[in-house]
Structure 1
Amino acid sequence: MFKHILVPTDGSALSQAALEKAVLFAKESGARISFFCAAQAATMYDGLGGIFSAQTPATLRDIANDISQEILAAAEKQAQMHGVSCTTLSQIAEQPYAAIIEAATLHGCDLIFMASHGRRGLDALLLGSETQKVLTHSTIPVLVCR
């Protein structure tokens, strides 16, 4: 059925639970996994107040990249424990949902397996949902784990 699964992860507890289910799903179906971490790019005004230097964007990118690599290393270890073939991918993106869809398409994935943070009401309206955006815009099947 599915041969190559993209599993976006942000390192959160919900994302970790979905990742574990994705690994078991891949093992049972004989699929391989590409773990993907899309760190959201900081803009000039994100949490910086009045303090800003020319090095700040590069420093923030380096920190986001380091965190992404830690998250992906843990995901890779999980897959290896279950004998599931995997690769890891990361990207700094202004719109993580678009990066998830792009990664799935670019790497030939036939399923996106991701967590839903379950935001409702005002939180969902204000914060949005990367999962909802992936569901809305993806032409690749999406399996949402709650």
Structure 2
Amino acid sequence: MVILNAFHLPGPSIMFIERVCVATDGSDIAVQAAQMGALLARAGAGRMVAVSVAQPHFSMPDSGAAVPDTRAEFLRAHEAARAHVETVRRIADAAGVSCEWATPLSSVPGPEIVRIAEEQGCDLIVMGTHGPNDANRLFAGSVAQYVLANSTVPVLLLRVPREASRPEFGEFP
């Protein structure tokens, strides 16, 4: 499923893409989003910005347990984010596209993705979503939903289709 959130301007609706922001968490769908981003960037001016937000994960220690090593967790989160943008950079290189990168530190990735895309003058954000495929729930994951709802930059979301039964339609008069 592909979702494109773009604003419509009066007149011909031609969008020239000079710089594509690819947000990645290292998942398979994020790699597919990077490949799509590289294709779109190559068709335009050939520039990408890879973003992976370094997200440290902390938990409260049990009573009497040692306090977690925060420095080690920050380092782990940053190294994971660097590995994710390195994957995007290799995809961009293979497509003949230049690629800058950013690995900001935050526990909430959505605002950082939007901020970097806007600061870098990106024309499109491409990202994967792990959102549920249940009609009773939202169509996108929380990060993708945040970016889609709050970005002034058009957003292209890629999602892996899940196995689902086809909807049953009644007879039309």
1:16 positional shift: 0.7
1:29 positional shift: 2.1
- In the alignment, the residues of structure 1 paired with residue 95 and residue 50 of structure 2 have an alpha-carbon distance, to the nearest angstrom, of 15
For residues 1-146 of structure 1, what are the structure 2 equivalents within 5 Å?
A: 1-45=16-60, 48-50=61-63, 51-53=65-67, 56-121=69-134, 128-146=141-159
1:52 positional shift: 4.5
Alpha-carbon spacing, 1:133–1:52, altered in 2? closer, same or farther (3 Å): farther
- Residue 29 of structure 1 aligns with an amino acid whose one-letter code is G
Q: Is the 8 A contact 2:34 2:127 kept in 1?
A: yes
**How many residues end up aligned between the 2 structures?**
141
Give 5+ residue unaligned stretches, structure 1. Answer: none
- In the alignment, the residues of structure 1 paired with residue 144 and residue 38 of structure 2 have an alpha-carbon distance, to the nearest angstrom, of 19
Alignment TM-score, normalising by the size of structure 1: 0.85
1:30 positional shift: 2.6
Between structure 1 and structure 2, the one with the greater Rg is 2
1:117 positional shift: 1.4
Richer in helix (by share)? 1
- Residue 145 of structure 1 aligns with an amino acid whose one-letter code is L
Deviation per residue, 1:72-95 (Å, 9 max, x gap): 112111111111011111111121
> SS in structure 1 opposite 2:53?
strand
Give 5+ residue unaligned stretches, structure 2. Answer: 1-15, 160-173
- Residue 47 of structure 2 aligns with an amino acid whose one-letter code is R
Identical-pair percentage: 29
- In the alignment, the residues of structure 2 paired with residue 11 and residue 49 of structure 1 have an alpha-carbon distance, to the nearest angstrom, of 31
1:141 positional shift: 0.9
Alpha-carbon spacing, 1:59–1:135, altered in 2? closer, same or farther (3 Å): same
Alpha-carbon spacing, 1:52–1:25, altered in 2? closer, same or farther (3 Å): farther
Alpha-carbon spacing, 1:42–1:29, altered in 2? closer, same or farther (3 Å): same
Aligned-CA RMSD value: 2.2
Alignment TM-score, normalising by the size of structure 2: 0.73
